[in-house]
């Protein structure tokens, strides 16, 4: 969610065109633990620069600090965070690695962990094809499978909210407890919102019928796919950035569609590769709910009504 603007009514990106992996696989970041400035040390060693010529701040994010390092060898994009530990970037790195290994859609970088990530800085091109984005995303979902079930190798973050990824063989249980349930507990503890907590748990206990006759395979998901995490290179090839990866139901990838701008051509191309399952329309809002709950936790009660409306709608539908 790097790049999200903490607005109660809008969801857009002010991130400039940057952060693109070249066609050759970049070297992994090496953290210089003993250095007073490990970022500078890495750039001047592994980055093969002899001098840093300019350092400028890059706008666009409310979770991390972003900086552009210009050198005599190359330009680098650096993300840092002083309030969240290295687990956030470690999770991002493993997610980028997993998406890269599918050899499908292009991803932004392949760093490893620490309290910072260093990436190549390249300007993006113009807007590309949503159909191509849909096709490539479906190919990633089709190629990225896990024999361990639903979850991920490590816990990571969705924005700055912890995302629990302990493996489970049951998607309904995983999504109910580790996605919706975890967010509801945070809302109860942070805001004292017992009303949404109780109604939300009633939904969790009754939502299994929404998945009848559906075969759910663990697909590799970007996990936070909104417009600020989608870009196109100068050849109009789609690029996805800043993941919150895990293996889950492919439909969960559309949970941020309320601020992703996916059009008909996107969905048509996607479902040609990953056919639409029975009941997709009935489950769509269930996956939006997770992100509305997370926005409520991150940015406050302006998102409460959207989340509660979805919960109330399902409780009426399910007669729960």
Q: Where in the chain is the domain with CATH 3.90.1200.10?
A: 130-318
Neighbouring-strand partners of residue 52: 71
CA pair distance 145, 213, nearest whole angstrom: 21
Q: What is the pTM of this model?
A: 0.75
How do the pLDDT tens digits run along the chain, 320 residues long?
Answer: 332 222 222 333 333 333 323 233 333 333 333 356 777 777 787 777 888 888 887 665 555 677 777 888 777 767 676 555 555 666 777 787 887 788 888 775 544 433 465 655 545 667 789 999 999 999 999 999 999 999 999 999 998 899 999 999 999 999 999 999 999 999 999 999 999 999 999 999 999 999 999 999 999 999 999 998 898 888 888 988 889 999 999 999 999 999 899 999 999 999 999 999 999 999 999 999 999 999 999 999 999 999 999 999 999 999 99
- Rounded CA-CA distance 3/76 in Å is 18
Q: Can you give the C-alpha Rg of the chain in angstroms?
A: 20
Q: Give start-end residues of each CATH 3.30.200.20 domain in the chain.
A: 38-120
- For the segment(s) 38-120, the CATH number from 3.30.200.20, 3.40.630.20, 1.10.760.10, 3.40.190.290 is 3.30.200.20
* CATH 3.90.1200.10 applies to domain 130-318: yes
Q: Which of 137, 121, 32, 139 is nearest to 77 (CA)?
A: 121
Catalytic residues: 224
């Amino acid at each position: 969610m790097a790049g999200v603007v903490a607005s109660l009514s809008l969801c857009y990106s002010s991130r400039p065109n940057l952060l693109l992996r070249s066609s050759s696989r970049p070297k992994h970041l090496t953290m210089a633990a003993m250095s007073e400035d490990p970022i500078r040390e890495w750039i001047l060693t592994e980055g093969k620069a002899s001098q840093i010529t300019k350092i400028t701040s890059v706008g666009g994010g409310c979770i991390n600090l972003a900086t552009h390092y210009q050198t005599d060898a190359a330009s680098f994009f650096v993300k840092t965070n002083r309030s969240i530990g290295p687990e956030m970037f470690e999770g991002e790195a493993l997610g980028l690695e997993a998406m890269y290994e599918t050899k499908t859609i292009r991803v932004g970088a392949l760093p490893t962990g620490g309290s910072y990530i260093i990436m190549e800085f390249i300007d993006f091109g113009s807007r590309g094809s949503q159909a191509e984005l849909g096709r490539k995303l479906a190919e990633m979902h089709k190629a990225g499978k896990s024999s361990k079930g639903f979850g991920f190798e490590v816990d990571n973050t969705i924005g700055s909210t912890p995302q629990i990824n302990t493996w489970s063989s049951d998607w309904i249980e995983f999504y109910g407890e580790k996605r919706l349930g975890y967010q509801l507990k945070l809302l109860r503890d942070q805001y004292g919102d017992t009303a949404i907590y109780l109604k939300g748990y009633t939904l969790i206990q009754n939502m299994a019928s929404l998945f009848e006759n559906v075969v759910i395979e663990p697909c590799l998901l970007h996990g936070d796919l909104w417009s600020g995490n989608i870009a196109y290179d100068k050849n109009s090839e789609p690029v996805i950035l800043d993941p919150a990866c895990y293996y889950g139901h492919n439909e969960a990838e559309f949970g941020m569609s309320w601020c992703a701008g996916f059009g008909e051509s996107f969905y048509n191309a996607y479902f040609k590769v990953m056919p639409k399952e029975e009941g997709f329309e009935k489950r769509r809002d269930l996956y939006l709910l997770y992100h509305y709950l997370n926005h409520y936790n991150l940015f406050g009660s302006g998102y409460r009504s959207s989340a509660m409306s979805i919960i109330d709608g399902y409780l009426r539908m399910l007669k729960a």
